[in-house]
Amino acid sequence: MTVPLSSATDVALPVGPVGARLEEQLSWHDRKAAHAQLKYKGLKLVQLVTAAAVPVSAAVSAGEAVTAALGGAILVAEGMQQVGQYHRNWIFSRATCEALEREKYLYLAHGGNYAGARHPERLLAERVEQLVAHETAGWTSMQQDATREEESHQTPG
């Protein structure tokens, strides 16, 4: 005999700001990770194809200008990747998304820290904000590192 779940035993995300914030952050980090992954892989594909074309252009005597242009294209693609930090953004956003998913399912299953929590909704809110703050701190640190790196390569002038 199957016993239908009553509303007392149904588990759902909290209605209101906590559940909305979790879903919003899951969606945002998932989109950001997918976008960064696409940009990173696209630029790497351009680099690989262009790098493979360098020896071919030399072998068919396409000329120094063509070979130099191919080398320049590789440099530009790598520069775009470094400026955009697409690989790092992909990894950070995907890791945050997966951590948020984990919190969601632990909350729904009353597992982990939620099993004995007196106020599981409050705990969920705190953990979601902790994960988002950690990702934001990593992004901020990455931006500061990039700025310092750029400033160290500038010559006074």
pLDDT at residue number 142: 74
Q: 150: which 2 tokens? A: 């750029």
Structure tokens at 90: 């992909």
Torsion sign (Cα): 79, 80, 84, 89: negative
Q: Where are the domains of the chain?
A: 18-147
The band of 11, judged by pLDDT with boundaries at 50, 70 and 90, is low
What span, in angstroms and rounded, lies between the C-alpha atoms of 154 and 157?
A: 9
% of the chain with per-residue pLDDT over 90? 76
Q: What pTM was estimated for this model as a whole?
A: 0.79
Between 5 and 51, name the one with better pLDDT: 51
The predicted-structure confidence for 28-80, as pLDDT tens digits, reads as follows 999 999 999 999 999 999 999 999 999 999 999 999 999 999 999 999 999 99
Report d(CA 137, CA 14) in Å as an integer.
Answer: 27
Q: Which residue has the higher pLDDT, 76 or 156?
A: 76
Give the mean pLDDT of the chain: 89
- Tell me how far apart the alpha carbons of residues 7 and 120 are, in angstroms, rounded to a whole number: 17
Please, which pLDDT band fits residue 3 given cuts at 50, 70 and 90? very low
